Amino acid sequence: MRRGWFRFQPIVAFCFAIFLALTSGKAFAGTIEILHADSLAGPLRELKKVFEANNKDVTINLTGGTSKELAERILKGDVCDVFASSSPAVVDQDLMGKKIAANGQDAASWYVVFSANEMVVIAAKGNPHGIRQVSDLAKPDVKFLRVTAEKDLATNRTISFLKRGAEAEGKPELAQKIIDASVGDASKPSSIPETVKAVREGTANAAVVYYSSAVAAKNDVAIIRFPASVNMSEAIRNAATVPGSAKNPKQASAFVKFLLTKPAQDILAETGQPPIVPAIERGSVPADIKN
């Protein structure tokens, strides 16, 4: 864990002061409904605080879930002012070129890729089993749990992470052993929040989750990070758009614009999601959002 995390509150205050200067005279009002990938829950909670503090008449509602399931809800017409996905591919494949069932609007015509992530191992607080590498997850006294939800992108990312880690240690055969030994109930697929909760409460004593999700639970779990060649960081990117189901597109655009500012980027970095700078733009990104 980086020592910078323990200076988080001063950083937020500093970022907030910069944000006030950048957005002076540009306050917005209304409710912003944000549907977001579970891995973005921690960062978005902190971003919400800063944005609402600078826009007193704005209320941000955060609803988490798997990116693909949230995209399905948008297509069906669920109100969503900002969609924040844990993969640009979900916006590309599930929303771009599609129509909202309720109003016939384009589901999405643009998005920005604003941050990254990585897979890590979390262990019980204090790491009593001494987990340092992937092969340690195969110890007979380790109750390992993995994400298994069918539409959760973390399911396949976890498998790839375990295979990379085992391969890097020269023990490729261990990956499948660890996968098969997961203590989860096959009839009840496990999501990121449920997996983190299991380790926090002792139902499991190790799991693979997103770094940002681990940081959000840092007071209750130990975090074991891995080299870039293992942690999937080159493949995990977060994208944001304002869908055609938005009720408050002006306020939503202001929030997406905020994601691309230095204050927001500092918060993202401190909460386990290094920002993509400059953000990657796809489609007809509105002029007031462009970098």
pLDDT category of residue 89 using cuts at 50, 70 and 90: very high
Residues of the chain with CATH 3.40.190.10: 3-117+236-283, 119-224
Which ranges in 77-113 belong to alpha helices (H)? 88-90
Whole-number pLDDT of residue 20: 45
* Residue 136 three-state SS: helix
Whole-number pLDDT of residue 102: 87
Q: Determine phi and psi for 117, rounding to 5 degrees.
A: -155, 180
For the domain spanning 119-224, the CATH number is 3.40.190.10
Lowest mean pLDDT among 27-36, 66-75, 84-93, 194-203: 27-36
CA dihedral 8, 10, 15, 20 (to 10 degrees): 140
CA-CA distance, 195 to 260, in Å (whole number)? Answer: 30
Whole-number pLDDT of residue 15: 52
CA-CA distance, 174 to 4, in Å (whole number)? Answer: 35
Whole-number pLDDT of residue 27: 59
Whole-number pLDDT of residue 23: 47
* Residue 166 three-state SS: helix
Neighbour-count burial of 104, counting CB atoms closer than 10 A to its CB (0-12 exposed, 13-18 middle, 19+ buried): exposed
pLDDT at 84 over 60: yes
What are the tokens at 204?
A: 């499991």
Query: Could you name the CATH architecture of 3-117+236-283?
Result: 3-Layer(aba) Sandwich (3.40)
pLDDT at 148 over 90: yes
Q: What is the pTM of this model?
A: 0.88
Positive or negative: CA dihedral 72, 74, 80, 83: positive
Distances (CA, A) of 37 to 27, 30, 154: 27, 23, 10
Asked if 131 and 46 count as a contact pair (C-beta separation under 8 A), the reply is no
